[in-house]
């Protein structure tokens, strides 16, 4: 068999170099070592779904016709047989082969299928994967194909269904996951069941046992953390959870707007687009009602007043200590960070300080600002126990180093004996 593979590879490389280079330059759909070719219109009536065909050999004198056949996910050919038999050499993706009356065989790159003459069979892609194989027509002088009926959806589903691996979640983790993500089934249960089990039990059982945060607060701070981390996929999950648990579109949008002065628009912009698409798809008309609390004329004064309300005389000291060429940054903090953003409605001051703390902790390297906003949180009524609960909630998402840095800041600013 190794000699056959080497011979086929040599034939393909010698006879189709120019065609392969041309086709691969146009290949954008499914990465594989052979060209994908054109849509398989000549045999479309014998396929369920879309397939592609790329003949690889041209010299008829060799009597070894070889073609690359590519299947889109779920695509398969009809039941059929060959009077001269056939070889299939799997090159990419995941698929299945089944002989009549026999169990289906999963196919992965490197697998070789030897099909004896007149054996009725089918082959094609898995439901969730593209698939490609070389098809070698044996005994080409006399080989004839007999096409039979299609592999219907029911029998295809039965033979390609993979039982979900066992995931041992605690009762509490299951309840919490169902509450946060009603109706959602993770695809990772199939591919990474051990990680789903470990993460699920930790993040949705152990972690949720600590502290007195309500579900809404946990979701809001986790959304803020995802923005700071630029964790797009996890944010999508949290957005779904928030909306499904009654967090309003205004509150969701305010989490995003609040993140701009702390994480920067370069990170936040992606999440605004994701959120707009999600809200629109769920029947929310945009733009939402304005939550702005200032005007160009009042933003500086109101922002400065809010700064002093939270941080007291420290704001005056910051202005006094700033070098002349840096005083503009203090003005920006007052007018832009606090005037434009912190004074907005939709979330209250306590919520906004928790979000600020969550963003800074998640960004990492912001320990000085973390300490400052620990003081701010305490001033608006978020005590150490609340902040510890927030850090604990974020632990599964930000990891231990940033969590321990945040705890160190908390212990420095609010010693344990206080």
CA distance 165 to 189: 7
pLDDT 10s digits, 58-77: 888 888 899 999 999 999 99
pLDDT 10s digits, 384-408: 999 999 999 999 999 999 999 999 9
Mean pLDDT of the region 217-237: 97
Confidence of residue 16 (pLDDT cuts 50, 70, 90): very low
Mean pLDDT of the region 344-366: 98
Contact 181, 244 (CB under 8 A): yes
CA distance 407 to 164: 39
CA distance 225 to 177: 19
Mean pLDDT of the region 185-193: 80
H or E segment at 92? strand 86-93
CA-nearest of 140, 141, 79, 85 to 114 is 85
Contact 48, 150 (CB under 8 A): yes
Q: Has residue 21 got a pLDDT over 60?
A: no
Structure tokens at 285: 């008309």
Q: Has residue 92 got a pLDDT over 70?
A: yes
Burial class (CB in 10 A: 0-12, 13-18, 19+), 51: buried
Q: Is 264 left (phi over 0), alpha (psi -120 to 50) or beta?
A: left
DSSP 380: T
Mean pLDDT of the region 187-201: 89
pLDDT 10s digits, 244-280: 999 999 999 999 999 999 999 999 999 999 999 999 9
Mean pLDDT of the region 50-61: 91
Mean pLDDT of the region 229-237: 96
Contact 97, 113 (CB under 8 A): yes
Structure tokens at 126: 């898995």
Mean pLDDT of the region 372-376: 97
Q: List the Cα angle 206/180/386 in 5-degree steps.
A: 50
DSSP alpha helices (H): ranges in 126-213?
153-160, 171-180, 188-191, 193-201, 207-209
Mean pLDDT of the region 91-98: 94
pLDDT 10s digits, 120-141: 999 999 999 999 999 998 998 8
Q: For residue 256, what are the CA distances in angstroms to 244, 270, 366? A: 18, 10, 19
Mean pLDDT of the region 178-205: 89
Q: Is 53 left (phi over 0), alpha (psi -120 to 50) or beta?
A: beta
Q: Give the pLDDT score at 418.
A: 58
Contact 115, 86 (CB under 8 A): yes
């Amino acid at each position: 068999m190794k000699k056959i593979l080497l011979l086929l590879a040599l034939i393909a490389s010698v006879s189709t170099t120019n065609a392969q280079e041309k086709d691969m330059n146009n290949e954008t759909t499914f990465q594989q070592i052979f060209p994908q070719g054109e849509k398989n219109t000549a045999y479309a009536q014998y396929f369920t779904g879309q397939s592609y065909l790329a003949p690889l050999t041209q010299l008829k004198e060799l009597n070894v016709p070889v073609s690359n056949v590519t299947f889109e996910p779920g695509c398969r050919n009809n039941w059929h047989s060959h009077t001269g038999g056939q070889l299939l050499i799997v090159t990419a993706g995941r698929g299945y082969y089944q002989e009549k009356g026999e169990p289906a065989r999963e196919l992965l790159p490197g697998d070789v299928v030897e099909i004896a003459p007149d054996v009725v069979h089918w082959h094609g892609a898995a439901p969730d994967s593209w698939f490609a194989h070389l098809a070698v027509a044996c005994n080409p002088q006399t080989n004839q194909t007999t096409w039979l009926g299609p592999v219907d959806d029911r029998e295809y589903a039965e033979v390609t269904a993979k039982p979900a691996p066992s995931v041992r979640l605690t009762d509490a983790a299951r309840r919490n996951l169902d509450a946060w993500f009603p109706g959602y089934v993770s695809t990772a249960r199939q591919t990474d069941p051990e990680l789903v089990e470990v993460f699920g039990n930790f993040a949705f059982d152990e972690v949720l046992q600590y502290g007195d945060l309500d579900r809404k607060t946990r979701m809001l701070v986790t959304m803020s953390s995802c923005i700071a981390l630029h964790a797009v996929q996890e944010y999508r999950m949290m957005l779904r959870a928030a909306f499904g648990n009654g967090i309003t579109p205004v509150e969701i949008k305010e989490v995003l707007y609040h993140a701009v002065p702390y994480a920067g628009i370069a990170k936040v912009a992606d999440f605004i687009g994701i959120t707009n698409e999600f809200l629109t798809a769920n029947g929310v008309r945009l733009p939402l009602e304005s939550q702005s609390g200032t005007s160009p004329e009042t933003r500086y004064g109101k922002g400065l007043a809010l700064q002093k309300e939270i941080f007291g005389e420290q704001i005056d000291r910051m202005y006094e200590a700033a070098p002349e060429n840096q005083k503009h940054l203090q003005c920006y903090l007052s007018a832009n960070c606090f005037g434009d953003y912190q004074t907005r409605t939709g979330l209250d001051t306590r919520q906004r300080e928790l979000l600020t703390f969550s963003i800074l902790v998640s960004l990492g390297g912001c320990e000085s600002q973390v300490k400052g906003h620990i003081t701010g949180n305490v001033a608006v009524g978020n005590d150490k126990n609340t902040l510890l609960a927030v850090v604990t909630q974020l632990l599964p998402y930000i990891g231990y180093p940033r969590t321990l840095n945040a705890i160190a800041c908390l212990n420095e600013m609010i010693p344990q004996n206080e």
